[in-house]
Each structure stands twice: as structure tokens, then as C-alpha cells.
Amino acid sequence: MVNCKVVLPLLAALGYLLVGVTAQQKDWWETTVFYQIYPRSFYDSNGDGVGDVRGVTAKLQYLKDSGLDATWLSPIFSSPQEDYGYDVSDFLSVDPLFGTNADLEELFAEAKKLGIKIILDFVPNHTSNQHEWFIKSEQRIEPYTDYYIWHSGRPNGNDRPLVPNNWQSLFYGSAWQWSDIRQQYYLHQFAVGQPDLNYRNEAVIKEFDDILRFWMAKGASGFRVDAVNHMFEVEDLRDEPINNPDDPFSYGYTHHIYTKDLPETYEVVGRWRKLIDDYVAANGLETVIMMTEAYANLTMTMKFYQSDDGRPRAHFPFNFAMIEDLHDWSNAYDFKYIIDRWLGNMPSGKITNWVLGNHDKPRFASRYGRDRIDGMALMLMTLPGAAVVYNGEEIGMEDFRDMSFEDTRDPQGCNLGPNNYKWASRDPQRTPFQWDNGYNAGFSSAAKTWLPIHPQYAGNNLRQQQEAATSTYKYYVAAIKLRKERVFTHGAFESRAFNDEVFGFVRYIHENDNRYLDPYNVVLINLSGYSQKIYVHHLYEFASEVATVKLASKQSSYNVGAVVSTAGLTLGPYEAVVLGN
């Protein structure tokens, strides 16, 4: 027998999934689509082969026309570009390669006119080794002496000391680099040119307080916080336990228990959140958001929302479940489990987000396969909360995995050499945006672009998709429009695996005594290449006998606006549809 002691906590845990969200006004960031622009590859306004800030400004209308109201830009700050902008040498100035501070201010102004929010990349874990702080730290010039993680190394007779410990860089090889000037090693968890800052030094944290204030004053609507869970290391820099002994130079060599996810990290995030909120309140601004980037397990990821005593931290941590936990081989039960698990683990009252890809991960069209593009896009757009779209996803851009070693630029690929670079390099997902089938895919007038254009551009580009009767782009635009309806911005959520192949969920608002009158939309996704017959009532018992098709994928045999029976509905191969009343 199930007693109340069991039932009540269960109901509380399911509360988020089952209870309708009231129709209160949502803040701008809670339901928006964040369009990630990788500026190097978006649009080149000055013909040097590299995309730039003015290129983003030139394409703002494209964002607006697509229904995109917010964009986050990968770094455009001064940088020697060893890690393509994630090695910052001056956090307060735009790199000449991308333009000027005036160009960025113009972008803020033009975006504001169109109602588009601009979010900047904030890179607190490390700087470039060309940053003034590092140059001075290397020379032990105060107050910079302890801005970075320095260590004399382990004694080695009369020779240069050995590296301090067994930590390896994410980009392959030891995480320690010897400095002839300082006669010590410095820590770099990423490229050699990206020394890790010392977050046990309060002065370092204060530098970043000022950087946040500087960009808020210029008009930034938010910050994407890079590699946040790498900010702290254990104080005594001890060895990490061995994980995979096969390759002692690979990042997987150790378990990262002393270099990643340290509890101190969350305190700094909370401090920056408070600083941002205070600044917003003092200046009467709209909400400025903080979204954190951390590849961490679910428990450590959820801690980015708030402290145990409820003090807010990030507005949200990126939800990488669709990148890390779901794959082309996942079945409908896997989708249900992973999505419900995320929602069920969120602290109550917090806002989620969904991400299919970014500049660090293979493109989702390549990971899930071309046939599943519409289905995955539909999920992203109709699940509760915010959605994050990486530029090019909206036209189904795929990885250019066959890029030659000579053309490869990414240190994560280059460090592995010509025989092993291919699967580690992130360049395949960073190729220039395919605007049209003209010269350099309409991206640049340069003789050579910084990365080659994906050879498939002639058959897959924005213009062609805008002109086609049906296309991935048109599907995205329609889905972005649909997600602005109240049932998606405010509706409750319940999911179902109909069988191995069909995943579905309902969004509904419970506001009538007669529940059959409540507004609802059902999202149905066939993950397989076979036709499937499903009964909508198995998911949502209050569905009417017939429903209207609100959205239909390229593969669909249904027309938008058609009225269909909800009992025994046939979904064609890979078909993805939304039905509703």
C-alpha cells in the first residue's frame, strides 16, 4: 500500500513538472533564444578573411527577422589569438582584428534600436601571457606578483626543476610552463599562452569586478562566464589520482578533483551576481544576466543556481545534457529520462535552458544526423525556459571534419599533430557562416578566409533556404515564433516515451474547471526512420479528439493548419510536429 508519507514528497518533487506556471510576466531572458555568434566566422565586413564586430552589426536585421532577441558573442577583446580570443590581453578593449571599442558601442546602440540584447563573453579563469598583469607578474612587479599560479617545481639536481605535479592541460601536455624570466613554472589549464589566474588573491577578483562594471556601463545585457569551474585549484597543488594511465600527457590522465569544481568557485560566482544585481538596481537597468559555462556533473552544475541558503548565483548554468548525455543512438526513453532528470533537479523557481551545440563541440547536425535536425530543433524551441542556438544551426550547418592539418588553427587540434588532430580539433564546427552560394559563401571578399569554407555551402546556405518552400531555416523561424505563445512561455510540462522511437511532451496551462478547455500543445518527435502510430491521449488525457497542426517538419506529410485525429496518428520517418487546440 502507498501511504501519505510516500506520496507527499513525491508530489512535491514532481511539482515543477506537473503544476502549471501562473501567467505572471516573464523577464526578458527567461524565455528568449540566445543566438551564439562566433564573430570570427559570422560576417567579415572589411575583407580580411576574419569576421568582425561591424559584421555582426551588419547582420542584426537578420537576427531580428529570424525572431532572435538576444545574442552572445564569443570574445572580441584584445588577444594574440592563441586560443582564438579566449586568451585575452586586455579585457577592456576590442582587438583591432575585430574592430574598435567604438564599433562595439555602435553595435550596442543598433541592437538596442532593434530590441536585441548583447551578451559578452567573460573569461575569468586565465589571461593571455601577453596581458600586462602576466608580464609584470613574471617580473615580480607588485601588485601582480601573485596574480597567477606560480611554483618553483620539484628539485632535479643541477638541471631545470621538474614540473610541480601531474596535472595536464585540456589542450594536451603538462599544465605547467617554465618561465626563464621568473625561474618558476606557471599553471595553464588551457593553452601555454593562457596562464591561470590566482583566485586566492582578492585583488584578482576585484579586477574582474571592475571589468563587469565597465561593460555594463557600455550596455552589455549579460555575461557568458567562460570555464568557470576551472577557477580554483587546491592550495597545495598536490598530484591528482590517476584516471587513465594510457597517455600521461592527456587531460584524461588524472581525475580532476583538485583542479575543477572546487567549492570556492561558487562563492565568487555569487559575489559577481550580487555585484551585477546591485549595479542594475543602482542604475535602473533591465536585468543583466550571467550564464556560466561548466562541463560538470549534474550536482555540481545545479550549484551554479544558488547557494544552500538560497543566495542567487548565475541566472543559469548552460545545460549541456543534449551535448553530453544524449546522442544519435539515444532512444525516446533516454530523452525522457535525461530531460526529466534535469528539470527535476533544478532548484524550485529557477529557469532552465537548452543547448544543442557551440564552438567547442561538434555540430548537432553532425552528431545527431541530418534527418534529426528538425526534431532536435523542435525540442530545443518548445521545452520550458531559454534556448541557445549556435550560429549556423538554424540552417543545419555540419562539421567540416575533413579539414586538412595545414588549414587547422585550433590549439586543441594542432597540439596532437597531423595524425591525431582530426577528432580533437574544434575548427570543423567553426567554419564561416554559409550566407549564400556566392564567393566565400557570402562571408568575406578576402582571397583566403581564416578557416576554409565548408565545401557543402553551395547546396546548403541561408539564401537557398530562405527561397525554398520548406527548409530548416524556415522551420526554425516558425518554431521561434511559436515558442513566443503563452502555452510555451508559461505552460507546464509533461513528457512521454510512446515507445523506443517516439518522444513527446505536452505544454499546457491549467486555467479552466473543465480541463478539456485548457490550452495545450503537444510536441511529437519520431527519432526513427520508420512510421509510427501514436495516441496523443497516452501523453495528455485532456487532448481533444482532433487537434490543429501548429508546426510540421520538412519531412512531414501534415500541413500546418490541418485538423488531425489525435487517436492513431501516424508519424512518418523522423517527423516532428506540434499539435494543439
Catalytic residue list: 226, 293
Of residues 540, 541, 557, the one with CA closest to residue 549: 557
In whole angstroms, the minimum distance from the beta carbon of 74 to ligand NOJ comes to 7
Site map (CB under 6 A) of ligand NOJ, residues 106-125, x = contact: -----------------x--
Decide: is 208 part of the binding site for ligand NOJ (CB under 6 A).
no
Residue whose C-alpha is closest to residue 30's, from 389, 510, 484, 356? 484
Question: Exactly one of 105, 106, 360, 407 binds ligand NOJ (CB under 6 A); which one?
Answer: 360
91 binds ligand NOJ (CB under 6 A): no
Give the residue with the Cβ less far from ligand NOJ, 83 or 371.
83
Which residue, among 314, 338, 308, 332, has the nearest Cα to 386 in the 3D structure?
Answer: 314
CB closer to ligand NOJ out of 86 and 475: 86
Cα Rg of the chain, angstroms: 25
Q: Which of residues 243-262 bind ligand NOJ (CB under 6 A)?
A: none
Closest CB to ligand NOJ among residues 83, 103: 83
The nearer residue to ligand NOJ, 359 or 490, going by C-beta atoms, is 359
CB 262 to ligand NOJ: min, Å: 17
284-303 footprint of ligand NOJ as x/- string (CB under 6 A) = ---------x----------
Residues in the chain: 581
Distance in Å, CB of 196 to ligand NOJ, minimum: 10
Distance in Å, CB of 86 to ligand NOJ, minimum:
3
Cβ atoms of 570 and 532 within 8 Å: the answer is: yes
- DSSP for 252-286, please give it: GGB--TTTSS-THHHHHHHHHHHHHHHHHHHHTPP
Query: Which C-beta is closer to ligand NOJ: that of 267 or that of 360?
Result: 360
**Residue placing its CB nearer to ligand NOJ in the complex, 72 or 505:** 72
The dihedral sign for the CA sequence 67, 72, 77, 82: negative
Nearer to ligand NOJ, 85 or 491 (CB): 85
Least gap, CB of 258 to ligand NOJ (angstroms)? 19
Among 86, 147, 354, 433, binds ligand NOJ (CB under 6 A): 86
How many Å apart are CA 4 and CA 21, to the nearest integer?
A: 25
Contact 218, 111 (CB under 8 A): no
| Binder among 44, 82, 83, 374 for ligand NOJ (CB under 6 A) | 83
Among 30, 226, 393, 518, binds ligand NOJ (CB under 6 A): 226
Comparison of 219 and 411: residue with beta carbon closer to ligand NOJ = 411
190: contact with ligand NOJ by CB under 6 A: yes
Least distance (Å) from ligand NOJ to the CB of residue 578? 32
Q: Strand runs (DSSP E) across 191-233, as ranges?
A: 222-225
Distance between CA atoms of 578 and 413, rounded to whole angstroms?
41
Q: Compute the least distance from the CB of residue 403 to ligand NOJ, in Å.
A: 17
- Which residue spans within 298-340 are E strands per DSSP? 316-317
Task: Check whether the bond before 161 is cis (ω within 30° of 0).
Answer: no
Exposure string for 422-438, b = 16+ CB within 10 A, e = fewer: bebbbbbbbbbbbbbee
Q: Using the rule CB under 6 A, which residue among 149, 220, 225, 227 binds ligand NOJ?
A: 227
Cell of 339: 530531460
- Nearest distance from C-beta of residue 191 to ligand NOJ, angstroms: 8
Task: State the minimum distance, in angstroms, from the CB of residue 195 to ligand NOJ.
Answer: 12
By beta-carbon distance, which residue lies closest to ligand NOJ?
Answer: 86
Region of residue 237 (left: phi > 0; alpha: psi -120 to 50; beta: else): left
Beta-carbon neighbour count of residue 481 at 10 Å?
13
Is the CB of residue 467 less than 8 Å from the CB of residue 481?
no
Residue 150's DSSP bridge partners are 186
Contact indicator for 174, 191 with CB cutoff of 8 Å? no
Residue 426 Cβ vs ligand NOJ, minimum distance, rounded to whole Å: 7
Is residue 498 within 8 Å of residue 504, measured between CB atoms? yes
User: CA torsion angle for 108, 114, 116, 117 (degrees, to 10)?
Assistant: 40
Q: Within 10 A of 222 (CB to CB), how many other CB atoms are there?
A: 24
CA separation for the pair 92, 155 (Å, rounded): 40
Contacts with ligand NOJ: how many residues (CB under 6 A)? Answer: 9
The grid cell for 437 is 552560394
Rounded Cα–Cα distance for residues 487 and 344 (Å): 20
Which residue number, 227 or 543, has a Cβ lying nearer to ligand NOJ?
227
Pick the closer one to ligand NOJ by CB: 410 or 501. 410
CA 494 to chain centre: 24
Q: Are 444 and 44 in contact (CB under 8 A)?
A: yes
Contact footprint for ligand NOJ (CB under 6 A)? 83, 86, 123, 190, 226-227, 293, 359-360
